[in-house]
Amino acid sequence: MAERSTKPYLIRAIHEWCSDSNLTPYISVQVDANTRVPAEHVKNGEIVLNVSHDATHRLTIGDAEAEWKGWLQPGGGS
């Protein structure tokens, strides 16, 4: 059996710790043709995203990806 990577577990743990500590968790994403982000915010092939519960809707951090259903607008709208 192949050994499982610890990266997704550490990312989820750090995200939870940031949230519990009232800190804002960010992720840096390497952008390629399959990445759906606003191109004007990509710098040197990467984008940094706020993935706090206040900024994302239904955030799921899986073993190979992070996904959410949309960005929340200031004031609580989606």
Kindly state whether residue 21 falls inside one of the protein's structural domains.
yes
pLDDT value for 19: 93
The number of domains in the chain is: 1
The number of residues making up the chain comes to 78
CATH code of residue 38 = 2.30.30.220
- Please, what are the averages of pLDDT over each run of 10 residues along the chain (78 residues)? 87 94 92 88 92 86 81 51
Name the residue range of residue 24's domain: 7-71
User: Given this model, what pLDDT does residue 73 score?
Assistant: 54
77 within some domain: no
62 vs 30: CA distance, rounded Å: 17
Record the pTM.
Answer: 0.72
> What is the reported pLDDT for 1?
75
* Structure confidence at residue 76 (pLDDT): 45
Examine residue 61 and state whether it is found in any structural domain, yes or no: yes
**Distance separating alpha carbons of residues 65 and 5, to the nearest angstrom:** 13
